[in-house]
């Protein structure tokens, strides 16, 4: 049994084209204006030179008489950038700088103010606004009367050839500035989307917002000065914001930090930010002492803030030991942060998560908390390595509400990188096992809800909560509703030792019903909204889909706010576990092809078996389960959607899926089609051939991503060089060639170039034929067979809405419910309700 127990990490192979990396070329800003305003000489600050106001690669569009440069009469001491504060430019009338922009995109605009008083001007009395041609940055700004320095940092997406930065004095007042910077930053520094914690929806349109940095903290570590940061940011310490310092401790790590290629880099935050953290200090060894670590910040009521949390697991000795939650104010930001999963199954890897929070009108507090996971049996822990809080300038009272789920779809690139921040990879993986028993077909017809299109859209919520008896039969589409007590009993009261899989959604337990039928019981976390949606999706989909190559749902339980799904038990576990990472016996090439063919049938049925195609969205080897005869069934429909013409009320643009399998085109265009499943399936095919993880960060860079690596060899015609050594010599060259061509087509860059699942199936059948072909003679046979297959595919496609599809001798044989009805009838009996 142990070899079926699936590690959490191994089930979620991490994303996409993201390779881990250690070293990067330094970022060189295309636009880099640094000005020491009012100064007659250049000023060097660390390794950067702030030019004198008089040297002009920019222009100052100002009548001469409103312009004065003044010098601080007092010497300024002990200020880091003190030399920038010796002079100031004073504007007694509206004035503006114009900066030619070499590269449009996001820029930092930093304004330095040191309000000193001299004979002519008391800068402490100034009052003014600063704006770009598109946005107001500071409105009626007044420096602090105690003459302290202030640096205001904004980031704005500049889509003009020039940035016009205007200083507009308030009435009877004047404006001033001590120094300023206009510097390009990488566009992926700010992604377009983030999770809105107020309503759990995706906030879109951040790319075009002006953000004001209000807090930037290096948790548990030293203050970082501009010289310590590739983008010259300042990171303060977090101690003063902690409201319960006694439950927090500093942690640090002296080794190297990894970045995730394409998602994090020193520009997101320097390594030193990730190498220190504030950790939740356990109060005692008992699990009951649960507390949050909370930081409290002043913020402006009614405004929205972008809150970026930086994480890096520097505390765990091994993967999958750290699970925790994050809150913003009292809203849950993330229910289950699992850094191992988010960082491609590696420790010491930098990631971040972005959230948007809208403050209510009455609140000037913004708090961020890290707290223990409430999953049973997980030690209270949690860390935060860095935190940035950025005010969305255009939000606030009277602002046009942006970022609702209906808003326009922003630039797609953001979403690519947004994945880490947004995707809570909900693909809950479970390992299902099933004991199959023979039963008569007739029985299955007595209760199975075969209606594919007739499946009502009855939602769980609309069901009355006191139905605890079977809802089977021709009118019930949601399968059997179990009472909680029955499942408690079946799983030995959710015995931790009976866990056969763990995922973001919750745990999967082995269960034995009273009649000895083995089942797999997936218990979701009742508090997760995401979980609830997936729970419904899965019940609704699986209740109306029945196919020999799709895993069967036996029933569910929604009593006491529980979200529990009960599946057939799949004796042999996941396809993945048979390929690598376990000591299960090797599968030969024919067995592997059969499994690929079976799963392709399941997917083909999903795509074509009902009026609207159903897109699985999380095709991977861990979601292909095997019964005791190694028959493949596709599982985990929590993320599935009908498409491509998505139901407009349920548009979700958050890209979901699993790293390493995700269709790059889906990232680029955020448009989901069946071809995304085809891509993921192509990755599975490669995995089957090469028997290695789709993302393996321990390998040399070019080998990390299996899809890239495999395609490199295939393009050279040398794919045979990297196949699983255990089967390499046994594959017939023709079979391999056919298989490799199929993989290549599935992995085409553009969906339109990829084959349909039906074509893939056909090609795999052909590859099997070629493998089984005895002699040159049989070539003719296989060609006949191909013609036959092809006409079956044709028929299949014509079947359209017929429920039980399948190819080649499919129809009724493909119904998997034979044993199900038996299970069912016994359930009803044994429960006796």
Report, in Å, the least distance between residue 334 CB and ligand NAG: 12
For residue 240, count other CB atoms closer than 10 A to its CB: 10
Q: Which of residues 236 and 456 has its CB atom nearest to ligand NAG in the complex? A: 236
Distance of alpha carbon 436 from alpha carbon 569, whole angstroms: 8
Give the length of the chain: 833
The position carrying tokens 């955020």 is 670
In this chain, which stretch among 367-375, 656-664, 679-687, 818-826 interacts with ligand NAG, using CB under 6 A?
A: 367-375
Determine whether the annotation assigns residue 522 to a binding site: yes
92: contact with ligand NAG by CB under 6 A: no
Q: Which of residues 21 and 271 has its CB atom nearest to ligand NAG in the complex? A: 271
* Structure tokens belonging to residue 467: 């139905």
The position carrying tokens 């995730």 is 260
Report, in Å, the least distance between residue 199 CB and ligand NAG: 17
Q: Which of residues 247 and 614 has its CB atom nearest to ligand NAG in the complex? A: 247
Q: Which of residues 98 and 492 has its CB atom nearest to ligand NAG in the complex? A: 98
Give the per-residue contact string, 344-363, with ligand NAG (x = CB under 6 A; - = no).
Answer: -------------------x
Among 76, 151, 164, 296, binds ligand NAG (CB under 6 A): 296
In this chain, which stretch among 10-18, 141-149, 291-299, 631-639 interacts with ligand NAG, using CB under 6 A?
A: 291-299
Distance of alpha carbon 59 from alpha carbon 252, whole angstroms: 46
Give the per-residue contact string, 708-747, with ligand NAG (x = CB under 6 A; - = no).
Answer: ----------------------------------------
Q: Which of residues 377 and 776 has its CB atom nearest to ligand NAG in the complex? A: 377
Among 209, 369, 491, 608, binds ligand NAG (CB under 6 A): 369
455: contact with ligand NAG by CB under 6 A: no
Report, in Å, the least distance between residue 289 CB and ligand NAG: 9
Give the per-residue contact string, 318-337, with ligand NAG (x = CB under 6 A; - = no).
Answer: ---------x--x-------
Report, in Å, the least distance between residue 366 CB and ligand NAG: 9
Which of 554, 540, 235 is closest to 387 using CA atoms?
235
Q: Which of residues 271 and 732 has its CB atom nearest to ligand NAG in the complex? A: 271
174-193 binders of ligand NAG (CB under 6 A)? none
Among 257, 272, 539, 711, binds ligand NAG (CB under 6 A): 272
In this chain, which stretch among 73-81, 185-193, 368-376, 779-787 interacts with ligand NAG, using CB under 6 A?
A: 368-376
Q: Is 311 helix (H, G, I), strand (E, B) or coil?
A: strand
Q: Give the total of residues touching ligand NAG (CB under 6 A).
A: 26
Residue 367 β-bridge partners: 296
Among 225, 728, 799, 808, binds ligand NAG (CB under 6 A): 225
395: contact with ligand NAG by CB under 6 A: no
247: contact with ligand NAG by CB under 6 A: no
Among 220, 602, 697, 751, binds ligand NAG (CB under 6 A): 220
Among 35, 101, 180, 224, binds ligand NAG (CB under 6 A): 224
Report, in Å, the least distance between residue 280 CB and ligand NAG: 10
Which of 167, 140, 85, 77 is closest to 118 using CA atoms?
85
**Long-range contacts from 701-706, C-beta under 8 angstroms, 24+ separation:** 701/19, 701/21, 704/19, 704/20, 705/16, 705/17, 705/18, 705/19, 705/660, 706/660
119: contact with ligand NAG by CB under 6 A: no
Residue 480 β-bridge partners: 555
In this chain, which stretch among 73-81, 254-262, 288-296, 515-523 interacts with ligand NAG, using CB under 6 A?
A: 288-296
173: contact with ligand NAG by CB under 6 A: no
Contact in structure between 203 and 333 (CB atoms under 8 Å): no
Q: Which of residues 248 and 615 has its CB atom nearest to ligand NAG in the complex? A: 248
DSSP string across 63-114: -GGGEEEEE-SSPP-S-TTGGGGSEEEEESS-EEEEEE-SS-EEEEEEEEE-
Report, in Å, the least distance between residue 325 CB and ligand NAG: 8
* Structure tokens belonging to residue 591: 């067995």
For residue 827, count other CB atoms closer than 10 A to its CB: 23
Buried b vs exposed e over 439-478: b needs ≥16 C-beta within 10 Å?
beeebbeebbbbebeebeeeebeeeeeeebebbbeeebbb
Indicate if 338 belongs to the active site: no
Q: Which of residues 224 and 767 has its CB atom nearest to ligand NAG in the complex? A: 224
For residue 438, count other CB atoms closer than 10 A to its CB: 7
Distance of alpha carbon 691 from alpha carbon 275, whole angstroms: 34
Phi/psi at 267 (nearest 5 deg)? -75, -30
Largest CA distance in the chain: 105
Report, in Å, the least distance between residue 486 CB and ligand NAG: 31
Q: Directed axis angle between helix 778-799 and helix 589-608, to 10°?
A: 20
Q: Which of residues 150 and 227 has its CB atom nearest to ligand NAG in the complex? A: 227
63: contact with ligand NAG by CB under 6 A: no
Q: Which of residues 146 and 288 has its CB atom nearest to ligand NAG in the complex? A: 288
Report, in Å, the least distance between residue 139 CB and ligand NAG: 24
Report, in Å, the least distance between residue 292 CB and ligand NAG: 4
In this chain, which stretch among 184-192, 225-233, 348-356, 543-551 interacts with ligand NAG, using CB under 6 A?
A: 225-233
740-769 binders of ligand NAG (CB under 6 A)? none
Q: Which of residues 242 and 699 has its CB atom nearest to ligand NAG in the complex? A: 242
Q: Is 747 helix (H, G, I), strand (E, B) or coil?
A: coil
CA dist list (Å): 512 to 2, 425, 469, 521 = 17, 29, 19, 10
Among 21, 48, 152, 290, binds ligand NAG (CB under 6 A): 290
CA dist list (Å): 26 to 266, 580, 595, 644, 753 = 9, 38, 47, 42, 38
Report, in Å, the least distance between residue 323 CB and ligand NAG: 14
Distance of alpha carbon 616 from alpha carbon 794, whole angstroms: 23
Phi/psi at 510 (nearest 5 deg)? -75, 145
93: contact with ligand NAG by CB under 6 A: no
Report, in Å, the least distance between residue 219 CB and ligand NAG: 9
Contact in structure between 805 and 547 (CB atoms under 8 Å): yes
Contact in structure between 689 and 580 (CB atoms under 8 Å): no
207: contact with ligand NAG by CB under 6 A: no
Among 69, 199, 790, 797, binds ligand NAG (CB under 6 A): 69
Report, in Å, the least distance between residue 422 CB and ligand NAG: 21
281: contact with ligand NAG by CB under 6 A: no
386: contact with ligand NAG by CB under 6 A: no
266: contact with ligand NAG by CB under 6 A: no
Contact in structure between 354 and 297 (CB atoms under 8 Å): no
2-61 binders of ligand NAG (CB under 6 A)? 53-54
* Structure tokens belonging to residue 828: 């009803």
Contact in structure between 156 and 107 (CB atoms under 8 Å): yes
Residue in 618, 627, 636, 696 annotated catalytic: 618
Contacts of 524 (CB under 8 A, 6+ apart): 428, 505, 506, 531, 532, 534, 535, 562, 563, 564, 565
DSSP string across 702-721: GGSBHHHHHHHHHHTT-GGG
Where is the binding site for ATP, in residues?
522
Known catalytic residues? Answer: 618
Where is the binding site, in residues?
522
Q: Write out the residues near ligand NAG by the rule CB under 6 A.
A: 53-54, 69, 220-222, 224-225, 227-228, 237, 239, 249-250, 272, 290-292, 296, 327, 330, 363, 365, 369, 371-372
């Amino acid at each position: 049994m142990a070899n079926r127990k699936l590690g959490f990490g191994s089930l979620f192979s991490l994303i996409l084209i993201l390779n881990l990396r250690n070293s990067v070329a330094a970022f060189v800003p295309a636009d880099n204006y640094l000005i020491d305003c009012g100064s007659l000489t250049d000023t060097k600050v660390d390794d950067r030179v702030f030019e004198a106001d008089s040297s002009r690669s920019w222009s100052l569009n100002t009548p001469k008489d409103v312009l004065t440069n003044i010098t601080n009469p007092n010497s300024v001491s002990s200020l880091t950038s003190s030399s920038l504060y010796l002079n100031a430019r004073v504007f007694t009338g509206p004035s503006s700088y114009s900066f030619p922009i070499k590269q449009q995109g996001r820029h930092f605009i930093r304004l330095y103010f040191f309000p000193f008083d001299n004979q002519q001007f008391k800068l402490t009395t100034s009052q003014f606004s600063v704006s770009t041609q598109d946005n107001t940055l500071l409105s009626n700004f007044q420096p602090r009367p105690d003459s302290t320095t202030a640096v205001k940092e904004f980031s704005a997406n500049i889509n003009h050839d020039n940035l016009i930065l205007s200083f507009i004095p308030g009435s009877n007042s004047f404006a001033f500035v001590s120094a300023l910077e206009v510097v390009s930053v990488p566009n992926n520094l700010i992604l377009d989307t983030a999770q809105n914690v107020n309503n759990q929806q995706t906030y879109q349109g951040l790319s075009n917002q002006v953000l004001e940095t209000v807090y930037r903290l290096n948790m548990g570590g030293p203050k970082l000065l501009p010289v310590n940061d590739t983008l010259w940011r300042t990171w303060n310490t977090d101690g003063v914001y902690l409201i319960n310092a006694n439950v927090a401790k500093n942690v640090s790590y002296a080794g190297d930090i990894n970045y995730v290629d394409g998602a994090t880099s020193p520009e997101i935050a320097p390594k030193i930010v990730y190498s220190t953290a504030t950790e939740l200090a356990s109060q005692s060894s008992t699990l009951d002492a649960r507390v949050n670590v909370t930081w409290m910040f002043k913020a402006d009521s009614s405004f929205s803030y972008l809150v970026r949390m930086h994480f890096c697991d520097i505390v765990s000795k091994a993967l999958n030991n750290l699970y925790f939650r994050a809150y913003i104010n009292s809203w849950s930001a993330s229910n289950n942060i699992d850094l191992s999963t988010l960082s491609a199954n590696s420790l010491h890897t930098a990631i971040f998560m972005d959230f948007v929070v809208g403050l209510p009108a009455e609140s000037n507090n913004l708090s961020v908390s890290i707290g223990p996971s409430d999953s049973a049996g997980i030690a209270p822990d949690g860390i935060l390595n860095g935190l940035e809080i950025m005010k969305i300038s255009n939000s606030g009272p009277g602002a046009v509400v942006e970022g609702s789920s209906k808003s326009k779809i922003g630039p797609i690139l953001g979403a690519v990188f947004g994945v880490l921040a947004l995707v809570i990879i909900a693909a809950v993986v479970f390992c299902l096992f099933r004991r199959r028993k023979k039963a008569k077909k007739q029985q299955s017809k007595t209760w199975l809800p075969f209606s594919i299109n007739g499946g009502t859209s009855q939602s769980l919520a609309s069901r009355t909560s006191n139905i605890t008896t079977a809802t089977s039969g021709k009118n019930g589409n949601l399968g059997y509703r179990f009472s909680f007590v029955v499942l408690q009993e079946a799983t030995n009261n959710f015995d931790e030792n009976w866990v056969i899989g763990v995922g973001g959604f919750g745990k999967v337990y082995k269960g034995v019903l009273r009649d000895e039928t083995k089942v797999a019981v997936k218990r979701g976390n009742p508090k997760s909204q995401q979980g609830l949606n997936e729970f419904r999706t899965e019940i609704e989909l699986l209740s109306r889909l029945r196919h020999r190559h799709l895993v069967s749902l036996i029933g569910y339980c929604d009593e006491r706010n529980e979200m529990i799904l009960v599946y057939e038990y799949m004796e042999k576990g996941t396809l993945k576990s048979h390929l690598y990472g376990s000591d299960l016996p090797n599968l030969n090439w024919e067995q592997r092809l059969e499994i690929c063919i079976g799963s392709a049938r399941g997917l083909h049925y999903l795509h074509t078996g009902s009026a609207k195609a159903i897109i699985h969205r999380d095709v991977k080897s861990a979601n292909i389960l095997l019964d005791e005869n190694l028959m493949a069934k596709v599982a985990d429909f929590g993320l599935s959607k009908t498409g491509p013409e998505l139901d407009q009320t349920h548009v979700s643009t958050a890209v979901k899926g699993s790293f390493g399998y995700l269709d790059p085109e889906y990232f680029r265009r955020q448009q989901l089609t069946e071809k995304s499943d085809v891509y993921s399936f192509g990755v599975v095919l490669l995995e089957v051939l090469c028997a290695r993880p789709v993302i393996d960060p321990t390998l040399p860079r070019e080998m990390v991503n299996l899809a890239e690596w495999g395609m490199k060899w295939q393009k050279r015609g040398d794919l045979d060089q990297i196949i699983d050594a255990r089967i390499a010599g046994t594959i017939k060259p023709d079979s391999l060639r056919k298989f490799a061509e199929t993989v290549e087509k599935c992995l085409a860059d553009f969906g339109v170039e990829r084959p349909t699942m039906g074509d893939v199936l056909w090609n795999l059948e052909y590859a099997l034929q070629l493998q089984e072909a005895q002699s040159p003679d049989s070539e003719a046979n296989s060609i006949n067979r191909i013609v036959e297959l092809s006409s079956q595919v044709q028929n299949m496609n014509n079947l359209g809405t017929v429920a039980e599809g399948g190819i080649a001798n499919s129809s009724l044989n493909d119904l998997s419910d034979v044993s199900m009805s038996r299970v069912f009838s016994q359930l009803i009996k044994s429960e006796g309700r």
